[in-house]
Amino acid sequence: MSSGTAALPIAEQSPTPTTADFVDDVLLGRCRELGLTESTLRALRHSQLSSAQRASATVRSILALAALSRGDGTRADELLTSGKPVRSIEERRLWLAASLYRACWLTPSAAASDEISRLTQALGNVSTETDVEQPALAELAHGCAALAYAEGLLRATDVGAARNQLELVANDDRQPRGVVVVARMLLAAIEVGVGRSDLALGHIQVALHASAGLGPEDRLLRLLLVGLLFAENRRLARAMLDDVIAGRYGAISTEQGTVAHLLRVLRLLAQHCPLELEHTVELRRDLRWLLGRHVSAAWSLLIVSVLASALVAADETCEAYDVLVQSAAELRCRRIDGVADLIDRQLATLRGQLGPDGFEPLLREAQRRRRLRASKD
């Protein structure tokens, strides 16, 4: 797997318009009501600022988050380095959230880590402020800031504090549904990472219920639920996967995008275990894509943990071990130590389950497979 994270080609998007629309009040209203859902993010990425909006730190922060949802750091930099100073508490929260996510896209280095730490501390400071200066924007700004703050905490190995931040958002009835869905998904990542797949399943199920009518989130959450169920009830997981493939929950892309790559991984595990060499190569390619799709530490933890547990359930413990080892090493190269520590915890559990007699043969087989895959790359 690659040790670097780079912006990926835009996928799952509508064709680029010849003339971009300006951000309008209806779109901003949808952002305030639903949060930054995939549908609103797509619309925002095709939008331009009017002359009046260029002075709004709020609008520029939201557009920067939309740009970063596809890894467009250049566009985000343009939006975050111009305009008037940030004034209201809501503007500061959105600005800091976008700035932290931008820092996560930087090439891993000591300077980038210091910037992430600085912004995390700043978000922690604004999270304690109770003033409301722009009521219409208050909940969206608070939710986005809390999600970004949790990201910074998780990277810094403060897993408990990250969980607390996410729980505050997930249990807040005033939050936009799109923000609650993300919070639940990231909570599921932490729970599966610490070995509580039962709690992770609960979070994904609640998020799936809340995602009704949001759009692409529904299909992603269904696939994540299938992935978690592989470790609990393989037969039920395969039946649910068949329903998704058959289009019971709407049309699903099988060629590109996050949902398509996750679908391919789950179909491999459902239909082709034990895995042949060509299938392990395909699985690693899709995993590499999924890990590069977002720079979120919790997203990386969720994808790696779900895949590893599904591999163990499919009697591919050797492949699960190798995925965990390589993912932990890559995450440390990216200075995401909090998640790497949680993956190490999963490795320790796996070694304990195997015992010395079972672990040594697995280690030799993992090394053999690694050499074979290298010969195919």
Does the structure show a pLDDT above 80 at 259?
Answer: yes
How crowded is the C-beta side of 239, counted as CA atoms within 13 Å? 4
Is 22 or 137 the better-scoring residue by pLDDT? Answer: 137
Q: CA 304 to CA 310: how far, in whole Å? A: 10
Q: Say if residues 151 and 68 touch (Cβ distance below 8 Å).
A: no
- Per residue in 202-255, pLDDT (tens digit) is 999 999 999 988 878 898 999 999 999 998 898 999 999 999 888 888 777 777
pLDDT digit string, tens, across residues 6-47: 333 333 333 343 355 778 889 889 999 999 998 999 899 888
pLDDT confidence of residue 20: 58
pLDDT digits (tens, 9 = 90+) for 313-370: 888 999 999 999 999 999 999 999 999 999 999 999 999 988 888 888 888 888 888 8
Give the model's pLDDT for residue 369: 85
Measured CA to CA, the distance from residue 81 to residue 232 in angstroms comes to: 48
Least confident range from 68-72, 79-83, 276-280, 304-308: namely: 79-83
Q: What is the pLDDT of residue 13?
A: 39
Chain center to CA of 219: 15
pLDDT score, position 130? 86
Predicted local confidence at residue 10, as pLDDT: 33
pTM score of the predicted model: 0.88
Contacts of 254 (CB under 8 A, 6+ apart): 260, 263, 264
For residues 371 and 377, give the distance between their C-alpha atoms in angstroms, rounded to a whole number.
10
Contacts 24+ apart (CB under 8 A), 345-353: 345/193, 345/194, 345/195, 346/193, 346/195, 346/305, 346/308, 347/321, 349/195, 350/312, 350/317, 350/320, 350/321, 350/324
pLDDT digits 0-9 by tens, 193-216: 998 999 999 999 999 999 988 878
Residue 119, pLDDT score: 96
